[in-house]
Structure formats: structure tokens, C-alpha cells
């Protein structure tokens, strides 16, 4: 057989395999007949690929579906034990780490502090120790581990495994993925932390039925993940999504040229806390929870600070909708604990500043986030590689 023809056939088969595996992931559980109807492939192609996926342990049969007349259909689904992923979120003072199964469910979780001014080699050894601890606790064999995903704030060159810039650690052009991979002898991937959350939503969350959506996170900063055409949009060097650094004109006075400030400077959690601490009697405000507690007790200053934050984030979101026209907006991050004190003004501002009609069919989903969710998102970076299109994979090589 001509090598070109054979290679094309192999690529088509790999594409069909990816198509079926992604449909099973997205739908959760379905029959071979349903899989054939959704995919548009022939009965023979579906039967052959499903047989291979079963033999290789990626999927399993899960009993019979509801009776609708005729022969009962055996249902198929992902095999949650097909492989495991470790996700690590790097924070300034600690690392949070989770092991998930193939369906991205957390089966164990661990936190470890990071000493101040830790060097990259010291951090790599600390991460290896955390990973070893988790794997030993679960008695996991190395071959069961699909890989390790790391999420952190900053500009990340994902395809190269390089931290181009980390604002918290001060790193530049650090080959972190390679450094850890040398210690583990297992695949290691790194990504901007908000993009890892976005991947988790795309694979198994609210975004799995949407080709175009955005995830914004509110907390210490204001972050953004973008999915366009069912692909994470990273920009040329991984810098896309620096939503907190868009410039918003803050107009607290009547000067002809108001001071331009970034969204993060006026709407993040630290911005709210700082604004309240300037008010007499509120020097003890140290966290967003303190602000929320004041708001719940009727403090007008706290309520206004949260509302103003929501207003400006909503204004920024309106700009995103006007430019990207997403089908869904997921609002996430630790800052969602402020509830309607912040979220309702945000949604009102979003609708007010969006161009006529663009919000008519946009779903808004609120997804509160904690450290476990960040770690799960980093693990999703590993799981996503299994479902990646073979064409995208070839382009990255």
C-alpha cells in the first residue's frame, strides 16, 4: 500500500476515534446507535472504533438503556479508571494538588506550603515530593499516571512548557515543565491557571455543549479564559486573556481627563478591601469575607464597594460580548462569595453596556471556585490531551 494513502487512512481513523471519544465525553452515556446517529459515521466504523476503545480500556459498557421498543441498547461511557491525572495550582504561599480520575473527579487532595523566595530547582523538588506523597498514599503505579498539569498566573507558553512571565514568582522564560519532567519521567504540562479552569468547564462542565464561551474569574485578580471554535484561545505567546489589565476610565471627579485605571486596580478583591480601609472605622477589613460580613450587616459602604466592583466588571464583560459574541459566560473565582451584592450589579451593567441583541441568547453561569477547583482544573490540562484532535496535536509537534 502506498505510504501516503496509508498515512491518510491512519489520520482519518485517528480523527474518527477522537470524534467518537469526544461525543462519549460530552454526552456522558449513550448507545452505539446514538453514537452512530450523532457522529454521522457508518455503523461499521463506529463498531470497529468502539471495539478498540473497549479493548484499550478507555470506555466501558454500562448496562442497558431505557426501553423504547425493539432491541434494548447497551450503553457505553468513559471508563473513569482509564487513567489518572495530577493537577497542581501554584500559589505564592502554597501548592494545592489533586489526583483526578479520567472523568476529572477528585479522588485525593493535598496542600503544601511554599517557603518565601523559593528557587525554581527547590520548587521542582518540592513538587516531586508532593506528587510522590500522593501516589504513595494511593499506591498508584507510574504507568497509571497520564501526566501532571500545572496551573499558575502569568504568561505561559504552553506548547513549549515555558513560564514566560510569572508576576508572583518573578520568573521569566523558565522551562518549568521540562525541569519537573526530568524528575518524574512522566509528561508534564503547564498552563495559565484561568485557562485550566476553562479546560475543566469545556471537558466536563457547563461549557461542554458550547463551541464559543468565556470564563472570567474574580478574586485577587480578574482573569479570563476564551474558547473559540471549541479551542482555547491563547494568542501568539499565551498572553491572551489578561482581562484584568484592560483599561477602564474611572471618573471619581470632574477633571477633563480622568485617570485611566485597569479593571484589576478598581474591581478586584484587593481593590475593594483597599477602598474600605481608607474609610474611618474600617481598618480591620482584611479579606473579602470581612467585606461581605459588613454588607450582610447593612454596612452601606461595603455594599457600595461591592456594587461598584460588579459594575466595572460588567462593563468589561460587555466589551467582551461586543467583540467575541460568546454563547455562554461562566463567572467564577473566589470573589463570587460576595453573591448578589457584587453579581447583580455586574449582570445589570453587562446587559446595559452590551450592543443591542447580543445578550439575547447568552447563558450566564455562576461557578464558585476554591483551591480544589483550581487543582482539578490543572489536572484537566492532562485529561484534555487524550481528547485533543489529532490535527491540533500534529500542528503542535
Asked if the model's pLDDT at residue 396 lies above 70, the reply is no
DSSP state of 231: E
Q: Which residues, 6 or more positions from 170, have their beta carbon under 8 angstroms from its beta carbon? A: none
Among residues 28, 52, 78, the one where a domain terminates is 78
On the question of pLDDT at 332 being above 60, the answer is yes
Which 3 state secondary structure label does DSSP give 253?
Answer: coil
The alpha-helical segments, DSSP class H, found in the chain are 3-27, 32-39, 43-55, 120-137, 176-184, 193-204, 263-267, 269-277, 288-296, 300-324, 340-353, 371-387, 390-396
Domain stops at, among 78, 99, 117: 78
CA atoms within 13 A on the CB side of 41: 23
Domain co-membership, 216 together with 190: no
Q: Is there a contact between 226 and 210 (Cβ–Cβ < 8 Å)?
A: no
Going by DSSP bridges, is the β-strand pair 247-249/172-174 parallel, antiparallel, or unpaired?
A: unpaired
Together in a domain, 263 and 321: yes
User: Is 278 found in the same domain as 378?
Assistant: no
CATH number at residue 22: 1.10.10.10
Same domain? 44 vs 126: no
Task: Label residues 28-66 b or e (16+ Cβ within 10 Å = b).
Answer: eebebebbbebbebeeebbeebbeebeeeebbeeeeeee
CB neighbours (10 Å) of residue 253? 7
Q: How far is CA 92 from CA 63, 123, 152, 170, in A?
A: 47, 12, 10, 11
In this structure, of 53-57, 166-170, 218-222, the range with the lowest mean pLDDT score is: 166-170
Verify that 344 and 239 share a domain, yes or no. Answer: yes
Domain boundary among 11, 44, 78: 78
Among 53-67, 190-204, 244-258, 294-308, the least confident range: 244-258
For the CA atoms of 167, 170, 173, 179, the dihedral, rounded to the nearest 10 degrees, stands at -110
In this model, does residue 391 exceed pLDDT 80? no
pLDDT of residue 8: 75
Residue 259 has pLDDT above 80, yes or no: no
Q: Do both 299 and 382 map to the same domain?
A: no
CA–CA distances in Å: residue 380 to residues 61, 100, 198, 199, 393: 24, 8, 9, 6, 17
pLDDT-based confidence at 133, cuts 50/70/90? confident
pLDDT of residue 4: 45
What is the pLDDT at residue 327?
95
Note whether 104 and 248 are same-domain residues. no
- CA quadruple 286, 292, 297, 302: dihedral sign: positive
Separation CA 54–CA 62 (nearest Å)? 12
Number of domains in the chain: 3
Measured between alpha carbons, how far is 257 from 71 in angstroms, rounded to an integer?
A: 73
Indicate if 191 and 69 belong to the same structural domain: no
Average pLDDT over residues 349-375: 93
* pLDDT higher than threshold 80 for residue 390: no
CATH number for 308 = 3.30.420.40
Query: Domain range spanning residue 99?
Result: 84-202+374-396
Cα–Cα–Cα angle for 226, 149, 394, rounded to 5 degrees: 70
pLDDT in tens, 45-60: 999 999 999 999 999 9
Domain identity same for 98 and 27: no
Say if residue 254 is in the same domain as residue 360: yes
Distance CA 214, CA 244 (A): 14
pLDDT exceeds 90 at position 18: yes
Tell me how far apart the alpha carbons of residues 315 and 299 are, in angstroms, rounded to a whole number: 25
pLDDT at 121 over 70: yes
Is a pLDDT exceeding 70 seen at residue 245?
yes
pLDDT range class, residue 228, cuts 50, 70, 90: very high
Three-state SS for 71? coil
Q: Is the pLDDT of residue 1 over 70?
A: no
Mean pLDDT over the full length of the chain: 89
pLDDT at residue 73 in the model: 80
pLDDT surpassing 90 at residue 142: no
Alpha-carbon distances, residue 80 vs 62, 86, 259, 381 (angstroms): 12, 14, 53, 16
Instruction: Provide the pLDDT for residue 131.
Output: 92
Q: Are residues 265 and 317 in the same domain?
A: yes
Check whether residue 359 and residue 387 sit in a common domain: no
Is 69 a residue whose pLDDT tops 90? Answer: no
Amino acid at each position: 500500500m502506498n505510504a501516503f494513502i496509508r498515512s491518510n487512512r491512519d489520520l482519518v481513523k485517528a480523527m474518527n476515534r477522537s470524534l467518537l471519544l469526544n461525543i462519549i465525553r460530552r454526552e456522558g452515556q449513550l448507545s452505539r446507535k446514538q453514537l452512530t446517529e450523532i457522529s454521522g459515521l457508518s455503523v461499521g466504523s463506529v463498531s470497529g472504533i468502539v471495539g478498540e476503545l473497549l479493548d484499550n480500556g478507555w470506555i466501558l459498557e454500562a448496562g442497558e438503556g431505557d426501553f423504547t421498543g425493539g432491541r434494548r441498547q447497551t450503553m457505553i461511557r468513559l471508563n473513569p479508571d482509564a487513567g489518572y491525572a495530577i493537577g497542581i495550582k501554584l500559589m505564592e504561599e502554597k501548592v494545592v494538588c489533586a489526583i483526578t480520575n479520567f472523568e476529572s473527579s477528585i479522588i485525593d487532595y493535598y496542600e503544601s506550603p511554599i517557603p518565601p523566595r523559593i528557587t525554581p530547582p527547590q520548587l521542582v523538588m518540592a513538587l516531586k515530593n508532593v506528587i510522590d506523597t500522593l501516589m504513595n498514599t494511593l499506591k498508584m503505579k507510574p504507568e497509571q499516571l497520564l501526566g501532571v498539569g500545572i496551573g499558575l498566573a502569568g504568561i505561559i507558553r504552553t506548547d513549549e512548557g515555558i513560564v514566560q512571565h510569572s508576576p508572583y514568582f518573578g520568573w521569566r522564560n523558565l522551562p518549568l515543565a521540562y525541569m519537573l519532567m526530568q524528575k518524574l519521567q512522566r509528561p508534564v504540562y503547564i498552563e495559565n491557571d484561568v485557562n485550566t479552569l476553562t479546560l475543566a468547564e469545556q471537558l466536563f462542565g457547563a461549557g461542554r455543549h458550547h463551541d464559543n464561551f468565556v470564563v472570567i474569574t474574580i478574586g485577587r485578580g480578574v482573569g479570563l479564559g476564551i474558547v473559540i471554535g471549541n479551542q482555547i484561545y491563547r494568542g501568539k505567546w499565551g498572553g491572551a486573556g489578561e482581562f484584568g489589565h484592560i483599561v477602564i476610565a474611572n471618573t471619581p471627579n470632574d477633571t477633563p481627563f480622568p485617570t485611566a485605571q485597569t479593571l484589576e486596580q478598581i474591581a478586584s478583591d484587593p481593590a475593594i478591601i483597599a477602598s474600605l480601609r481608607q474609610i474611618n472605622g474600617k481598618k480591620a477589613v482584611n479579606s473579602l469575607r470581612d467585606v461581605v460580613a459588613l454588607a450582610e450587616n447593612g454596612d452601606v459602604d461595603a455594599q457600595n464597594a461591592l456594587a461598584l466592583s460588579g459594575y466595572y466588571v460588567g462593563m468589561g464583560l460587555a466589551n467582551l460580548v461586543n467583540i467575541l459574541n460568546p454563547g455562554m459566560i461562566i463567572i467564577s473565582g473566589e470573589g463570587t462569595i460576595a453573591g448578589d451584592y457584587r453579581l447583580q450589579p455586574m449582570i445589570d451593567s453587562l446587559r446595559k453596556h452590551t450592543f443591542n441583541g447580543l445578550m439575547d441568547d447568552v447563558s450566564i453561569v455562576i461557578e464558585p471556585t476554591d483551591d480544589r477547583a483550581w487543582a482539578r482544573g490543572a489536572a484537566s490540562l492532562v485529561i484534555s490531551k487524550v481528547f485533543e484532535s489529532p490535527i491540533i496535536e500534529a500542528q503542535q509537534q
